A and B are shown apart, each in its own frame.
Chain A
């Protein structure tokens, strides 16, 4: 089975530009999670969806960040406008069902650098 697919793998852009990160979860998984990983703060949960509906976005740092899941096989995380402090590795993960007892399957991440 294909795993979680993220694109692009690397993104370098200038401050102020719009950035869109993409994720395709594993087919059949009901939950999709977006994380950010930095040296300073480790792995942070930004937002997660259940059946395409955002459930908890309390981890989204600012209004500059937005996430959508228009269908079961696609999600985007958008930053507009981007700032240097947004530089990080962004991971998407998906899991089956509910209960916190299902392992999450991670993509390989998008390494974002804002100049």
Chain B
């Protein structure tokens, strides 16, 4: 069965510092992987997705993520965090043909300090 683990519940970084949010997944076949961001009072917005091909994917707002099959990971990164990046971040895995759901991690809350 699919599952997603986000080990960090809460991360605090200084503005301008680099960021890495961890995501580990469990799935028997090639996964479809997503990162979403949720700002307070809003729904989830897609940051980026991985289906196949280049394992380093670029998303919106300067984010990128790298798929590492050997580690079952899909970590989200940003070289320089802005105060507006403070939000909740969710990793999700989709199961391919016949599996229409996305399975979401529990989220990582990012706080950015000046």
Contacts and interface: CB of A to CB of B under 8 A. Distances in A.
Nearest to B6: A42
Given A4-B43, A104-B102, 18 more contacts: A43-B107, A56-B100, A91-B43, A99-B94, A99-B99, A99-B100, A100-B32, A100-B95, A100-B96, A100-B100, A100-B101, A100-B102, A101-B32, A101-B51, A101-B94, A103-B46, A106-B36, A107-B43
Nearest to B48: A103
B34 interface: yes
Contacts of A104: 44, 46, 102
Interface in B27-59: 32, 34, 36, 41-46, 49, 51
Interface string A73-115: 0000000000000000001010000111111111111010000
Contact of A103 (B41, B49, B95, B97): B49
Chain A interface size, as a band, is 20 to 34
Q: Is the interface of B mostly helix, strand, loop or mixed?
A: loop
A34 to B, nearest CB: 12
A99 B98 contact: yes
A55 interface: yes
Q: Sort chain B's interface into a size bin.
A: 20 to 34
Interface of A: 4, 31, 33, 42-43, 45, 48, 50, 55-56, 91, 93, 98-109, 111
B104 interface: yes
A1 to B, nearest CB: 14
Contacts of B94: 99-102
Contacts of A33: 101
Interface string B54-68: 000000000000000
B111 interface: no
